[in-house]
Amino acid sequence: MLTKINNLIDLALDEDAAFGDVTSQSVFPTDHTSEAQIVARQDMVICGLEIAKRVFLRLDPGLKVDLEVKEGEAVTSGTIVMRIKGSTISLLTAERTALNFMQRLTGIATLSRRYADAAAKAGTGVRIVDTRKTTPGWRALEKYAVRCGGCFNHRSSLGEHVLIKENHIAAAGSLAKAVGLARDNAPHCAKIEVETETLNDVIEALQAGAEVIMLDNMTPPQIQQAVEMIKQSAIIEISGGISLETIADYALPGVDVISVGALTHSAPAADFSMIIPVSRPEQT
């Protein structure tokens, strides 16, 4: 995993600074040093500090980086979250790449915390989980950010468990046939989850012995009916267009999991600034 993260950082640094930082290199001599602060510009749940630190040190191992808060910590606007000291050229060259990682991951963690808090208020014990709707190459980091925010991860790859969706059912010929084929051929430890769109699908999934039943784009009354039909014989997952404003309507007794793609695909970036305090010439 560390190798993958280093590769992603190297790719980002190469994208932004493969030919150096012509501005900083033109303005400052190589021995010029500064101390910078990274400041939160809004209330947020912090995530990505360790990645940002690695960005600075990957570019220049001689930099000194101090983290002022912890991953997953809620901070208010104006909080200094990191201090970096060393070559001014290195600080400025790594700045945007480091902030890009932080703003993306903190944005996900902040939104995830809002969903986790909303689910907790429902009092039914439902878990909010993410999906595979992630930025290519960033999945491990974005799912880490979801956990920092207090939510949970659904499968991280296609190889983790069986999830039979509408296209699998259509290609196989029926829901029951798709489940039967999966049971015959999947690893013995892989759970079989089935996506259902109607109450008739739920009945068929139960008869086929699905261990997890996803209720996709169903209304709250339909979900209540499905919960009564399933009667705890399978894990119940809800999916499809659920927002912060409607989560209370779906976090019903008997529902185990609500999957929310928005945690990763629609989280707004958090606002950070890196500041080098102005050094003014002494008065004579």
Catalytic: 114?
no
Domains of the chain by residue range = 2-114+268-275, 152-259
Quote the pLDDT of residue 284. 46
Q: Residues near 238 by Cβ (< 8 Å), separated by ≥ 6? A: 214, 215, 218, 223, 250, 255, 257, 258, 259
Tens of pLDDT along 73-124? 999 999 999 999 999 999 999 999 999 999 999 999 999 999 999 999 999 9
DSSP codes, 157-213: STTSSEEE-HHHHHHHSSHHHHHHHHHHHS-TT--EEEEESSHHHHHHHHHHT-SEE
Catalytic: 211?
no
pLDDT cut 70: percent of the chain above it = 98
Average per-residue pLDDT in the chain? Answer: 96
Catalytic: 4?
no
Q: Residues near 147 by Cβ (< 8 Å), separated by ≥ 6? A: 112, 153
Strands 192-196 and 64-67: unpaired
Quote the pLDDT of residue 143. 98
Residue with tokens 């976090």: 251
Q: In the predicted model, what is the mean pLDDT of residues 52-59?
A: 98
Catalytic: which of 165, 166, 177, 249?
Answer: 165
User: Crossing angle, helix 139-148 and helix 2-17, to 10 degrees?
Assistant: 110
Catalytic: 166?
no
pLDDT band at residue 280 under the 50/70/90 scheme: low
Catalytic: which of 54, 85, 96, 155?
Answer: 96
Q: In the predicted model, what is the mean pLDDT of residues 183-191?
A: 93
Catalytic: which of 71, 95, 204, 216?
Answer: 216
**Domain covering 152-259, topology:** TIM Barrel (3.20.20)
Q: Which two tokens stand for residue 201?
A: 């699908």
Strands 44-45 and 64-67: unpaired
Catalytic: 96?
yes
Tens of pLDDT along 218-263? 999 999 999 999 999 999 999 998 999 999 999 999 999 999 999 9
152-259 and 2-114+268-275 share a CATH fold: no
Assess whether pLDDT exceeds 60 at residue 273. Answer: yes
CATH class of 2-114+268-275: alpha beta
Tens of pLDDT along 129-149? 999 999 999 999 999 999 999
Which residues lie across from 83 on neighbouring strands?
37, 66
Q: Residues near 144 by Cβ (< 8 Å), separated by ≥ 6? A: 47, 105
Assess whether pLDDT exceeds 90 at residue 281. Answer: no
Catalytic: which of 193, 195, 201, 204?
Answer: 195
The whole-model pTM stands at: 0.95
Catalytic: which of 54, 83, 85, 133?
Answer: 133
